[in-house]
Amino acid sequence: MRVLDSCIRPGEATPVHTHRWPSVPFVLAWSDFVRSDGDGNVVLDSRTFPPVPAPGSALWSGPLGPHSARNIGEGELRVIAVELKTAAESG
């Protein structure tokens, strides 16, 4: 497994990156965000989520191809994600 601690402040964006493995993200603080693919096309807008995940919520995410995330809300977006690698990939 791999554990990621991510914090995106209002107006900030991550560089384009990937997630090779499925993960369980734990929401510590929520703020609206948009996820764009590697070409800059919006592929997810959190404002469409019914309901908004509460702090302490656990979610599921499959592997993600090239993308970036931009915090478009007024607060911090903070997530700890546990990526689930196979034993052969854990090196």
pLDDT, tens digit, 9 for 90 and up, residues 41-85: 999 999 998 888 999 999 999 999 999 999 999 999 999 999 999
Whole-prediction pTM value?
0.88
Neighbouring C-beta atoms of residue 69, cutoff 10 Å = 22
In degrees and rounded to multiples of 5, residue 78 shows phi and psi of -130, 120
CB 6 within 8 A of CB 78: yes
pLDDT score recorded for residue 2: 94
What are the structural domains, with CATH classification, of the chain?
A: 2-85 (2.60.120.10)
pLDDT score recorded for residue 45: 97
pLDDT score recorded for residue 86: 79
Nearest to 6 by CA among 90, 81, 84: 81
Rounded Cα distance between 18 and 79, Å, is 16
Signed CA dihedral, 40, 16, 10, 60: sign only: positive
